Amino acid sequence: MSKKNDYDPSEIQKRMGMKAKNRISNTVIYVVLVIMSIVWLIPFFCIVFQSFRVESTWMAGYVFPQKWGFDNYINLAKTDFWKWYTNTFIIAVVVAALQTVIVLCMSYTLSRFRFKIRKGLMKFMLVLGLFPGMLTMIILYRVLKDLGMTQANAVPGLILVYIASSGMGYYVSKGFFDTVPKTLDEAARIDGATRAQVLWKIILPMAKPIVIYTILTAFMGPWGDFVFARYISMNTSAGMNVAVGLQSWLSLDQINNRYTMFCAGGVVVAIPVTILFLCLQKYYVEGVTGGAVKG
């Protein structure tokens, strides 16, 4: 039957029609995608070009510099920029490490253990998660101020704020753990492993994408945070993170001297994140979709 169809002229025509149709829709999709990526990339390239402009420091009305140079990058060292950068880096690394551990332990517990308040706890955290975090800003500031963790000491304060609620981000990794058959845990426990060994030796190696995903999201949160960081550092340069610090250069009295340096700072901020994503991109996609299968 199928052989006959291969030589059937109407069948061939039909197939060619399908091919043409596919080609058209593919072309449309690619054109749209190309336009979208150009739109997205324009601001980024503008910033990169501006950061190499040395003939003036204010906001110029053109994109391509007339004179190129690294002055803006070199001048960053004469400001508090590297202090802010270090602050942010410390916060992000500590938060990424602690938050990952907390989230993974939380997810494993909720996925594997059955205890009385398990369901209630999950519902409670779901509802709690629906409130915007900003609601807690004022009270958090009071608490941190009493603990002496604001302004110049904002770094430990921010770390505390970021990791305090990290257990609530268990959804994706719990969804992933749920897809790992329970008999693997049971087999390992019979083989002599403790619960902790089951998690470290059996579950986590299988859950690599989700671990990477957790680390990435935990790192990205504090790395790009602005609102909390600004509120808690309260105009004290020593306690600022890089986003707050750079933003202070855009105030009316500074923008004319600092605009190109602001762009250079922005590029430097983007570097570690870009590297992280390039290296771990494969796992990131796997992690997001892997957990979603049975979320």
Binding site for other proteins (CB under 8 A): 114, 181, 183-184, 186-194, 197, 201-202, 205-206
Comparing CB distances to other proteins, the nearer of 83 and 189 is 189
Cβ nearer to other proteins, comparing 221 with 291: 291
Shorter beta-carbon distance to other proteins: residue 40 or 115: 115
- Tell me 53's DSSP state: B
Q: Which is nearer to other proteins, 177 or 223 (CB)?
A: 177
Sequence-separated (6 or more) residues with CB below 8 Å from residue 207: 173, 176, 177, 180
The least distance separating other proteins from the CB of residue 178, rounded to whole angstroms, comes to: 16
Query: What count of residues does the chain have?
Result: 295
Nearest Cα residue to 58 out of 214, 243, 197, 259: 259
DSSP result, 134-183: GGGHHHHHHHHHHTT-SGGGHHHHHHHHHHHTGGGGGHHHHHHHHHS-HH
The number of beta carbons lying within 10 Å of the beta carbon of residue 92 is 25
Sign (positive or negative) of CA dihedral 43, 49, 54, 60: negative
Tell me the closest approach of the beta carbon of residue 184 to other proteins, in angstroms: 5
What is the nearest approach in angstroms of other proteins to the Cβ of residue 211? 13
Q: Give the CA count within 13 Å in the CB-facing half-sphere of 163.
A: 19
Closest to other proteins by CB, 184 vs 275, is 184
Least Å distance, CB 180 to other proteins, is 9
> Shortest gap between Cβ of 208 and other proteins (angstroms)?
8
Task: Indicate the residue among 66 and 194 with the shorter CB distance to other proteins.
Answer: 194
Neighbours of 240 (CB within 10 A): 27
Among residues 154 and 203, whose Cβ is nearest to other proteins?
A: 203
CB 196 to other proteins: min, Å: 12
Report whether 232 contacts 161 (CB < 8 A): yes
Cβ-proximal residues to 190 (8 Å cutoff; 6+ apart), any chain: none
User: Do 202 and 108 contact (CB within 8 A), yes or no?
Assistant: no
Query: Do the beta carbons of residue 137 and residue 231 sit within 8 Å?
Result: yes
As beta bridge partners, residue 29 has: none
Q: Least distance in Å: CB of 293 to other proteins?
A: 16
203 or 263, CB closer to other proteins? 203
CB of 109 to other proteins, least distance (A): 17
Instruction: Give the integer Cα–Cα distance in Å for 184 and 75.
Output: 56
